[in-house]
């Protein structure tokens, strides 16, 4: 037994967390309270921008495995950015599995209820911390989709509506208003909870920034990610 020792967790160690059949690779460096996530596997510009960003950054980053937008939980397909509330998850299960029985949906929801707490424990930052989520969009979704359900907007680049920040903290939004980048603020969106991570963070008072860029604009996403990460404070009281 002499040399059987439990090694302390390596500061640059890697592990993964499963939610149903979905797996999130966790890359961690240092002891920063900053959190990052790439949640839609098909959004490959965002994945690459975040992977490059983390090369010289302390913090904990989550990368969904696979190249598909959706994941499988309890035998059913779900959009992983709709799994963070039971009502949102149920709607996503129904939409993506129109032939699923109520029992099948209930058991898939039970898998989420079992697996999500471990992901959230690792993913949500400590009090006052910030989570940065990276996404890509294409035709059909841009900041104009969000403006009607947002409390405030900053539109210095109206001709580039696909590239923008969505924030849940009014103080962070004030900082972004000093930037050349588009942004919206949603601390308490009025529409029904869609199960997205932004809604969960808004409901729990967690500082959250969603960085959206048009798919393929890697240099742009890299630049906006670096800017927001450096501009926003690590912790707020
Ligand atoms: Zn996305």
Query: Ligand 1 mean position to 235 CA, how many Å?
Result: 25
pTM of the model: 0.93
User: What confidence tier does 187 reach under pLDDT thresholds 50, 70, 90?
Assistant: very high
**Cα 135 to averaged position of ligand 1 atoms, centre (Å):** 4
Torsion of CA 91, 95, 99, 100, to 10 degrees: -30
The answer to whether 10 touches 53, Cβ cutoff 8 Å, is: no
| CA 69 / ligand 1 centre spacing (Å) | 8
Exposure of 124 in the CB half-sphere (CA atoms within 13 A): 21
pLDDT of residue 189: 74
Query: How far, in Å, is the centroid of ligand 1 from the Cα of 132?
Result: 13
Is the predicted pLDDT of residue 1 greater than 60, yes or no? no
How crowded is residue 27: how many other Cβ atoms within 10 Å of its Cβ? 20
Q: CATH classification of 14-231, choosing from 1.10.357, 1.10.20, 1.10.10, 3.40.630? A: 3.40.630
**Residue 137 CA to ligand 1 centre (angstroms):** 7
CA of residue 134 to ligand 1 center, whole Å: 7
- Which residue, among 184, 214, 185, 208, has the nearest Cα to 196 in the 3D structure? 208
Residue 4: band (very low, low, confident or very high) from pLDDT cuts 50, 70, 90? very low
Q: pLDDT per residue over 81-118, tens digit each?
A: 999 999 999 999 999 999 999 999 999 999 999 999 99
- What does the alpha-carbon distance between residue 229 and residue 201 come to, in Å, rounded to a whole number? 18
Higher pLDDT, 22 or 188: 22
Is the pLDDT score of 232 beyond 90?
A: yes
Calculate how far, in angstroms, residue 92's C-alpha sits from the geometric centre of ligand 1.
Answer: 14
Tens-digit pLDDT profile for residues 195-206: 999 999 999 999
Distance 105 CA to ligand 1 centre (A): 23
Residues lining ion ligand 1 (Cβ < 5 A) are 40, 43, 135
Query: Per residue in 24-71, pLDDT tens?
Result: 999 999 999 999 999 999 999 999 999 999 999 999 999 999 999 999
Spatial CA neighbour of 46 closest among 37, 34, 35 = 37
pLDDT over 60 (residue 225): yes
- Write down the pLDDT at residue 7: 42
For ligand 1, the distance from its centroid to the CA atom of residue 211, given in whole angstroms, is 9
What is the model's pLDDT at position 139?
87
- What percent of the chain stands above pLDDT 90? 90
pLDDT digits (tens, 9 = 90+) for 129-176: 999 999 999 988 999 999 999 999 999 999 999 999 999 999 999 999
Residue 36 token pair: 């990052």
CA of 40 to the centre of ligand 1 (A): 5
**3-state secondary structure string across the chain:** CCCCCCCCCCCCCEEEEEECCEEEEEEEECCCCCEEEECCCCCHHHHHHHHHHHHHCCEEEEEECCCCCCEEECCEEECHHHCCCHHHHHHHHHHHCCCCCHHHHHHHHHHHHHHHHHHHHHHCCCCCCEEEEEEEECCCCCHHHHHHHCCEEECCCCCCCCCEEEECCHHHHHHHCCCCCEEEECCCCCCCCCCCHHHHHHHHCCEEEEEEEECCCHHHHHHHHHHHHHHCCCCCC
- What per-residue confidence (pLDDT) applies to 138? 94
Ligand 1 center to residue 43 CA distance, Å?
Answer: 6
| 11 has a pLDDT exceeding 70 | no
pLDDT number for residue 13:
55
191 or 221: which carries more pLDDT confidence?
221
Residue 157 burial class via C-beta count within 10 angstroms: exposed 0-12, middle 13-18, buried 19 and up: middle
How far, in Å, CA of 18 to CA of 39, rounded?
13
Ligand 1 midpoint to CA 3 (Å): 46
Ligand 1 mean position, distance from CA 10 (Å): 30
């Amino acid at each position: 037994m002499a040399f059987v020792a439990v090694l302390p967790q390596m500061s640059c160690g890697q592990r993964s967390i499963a939610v149903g059949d979905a797996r999130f690779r966790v890359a961690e460096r240092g002891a920063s309270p900053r959190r990052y996530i790439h949640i839609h596997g098909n959004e490959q510009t965002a994945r690459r921008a975040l992977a490059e960003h983390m090369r010289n950054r302390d913090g904990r980053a989550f990368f969904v495995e696979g190249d598909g937008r959706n994941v499988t939980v309890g035998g059913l397909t779900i959009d992983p950015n709709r799994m963070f509330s039971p009502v949102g998850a149920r709607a996503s299960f129904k939409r993506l599995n129109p032939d699923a029985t109520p029992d099948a949906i209930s058991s898939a929801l039970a898998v989420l209820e079992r697996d999500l707490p471990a992901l959230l424990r690792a993913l949500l930052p400590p009090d006052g911390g910030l989570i940065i989520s990276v996404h890509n969009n294409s035709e059909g979704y841009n900041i104009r989709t969000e403006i009607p359900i947002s409390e405030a907007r900053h539109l210095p680049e109206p001709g580039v509506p696909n590239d923008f920040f969505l924030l849940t903290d009014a103080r962070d939004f004030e900082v972004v208003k000093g930037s050349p980048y588009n942004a919206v603020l949603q601390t308490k969106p009025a529409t029904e909870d869609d199960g997205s991570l932004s809604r969960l963070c808004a409901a729990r008072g967690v500082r959250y920034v969603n960085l959206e860029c048009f798919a393929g604009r890697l240099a742009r996403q890299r630049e906006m990610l670096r800017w927001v990460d450096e501009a926003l404070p690590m912790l707020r009281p």
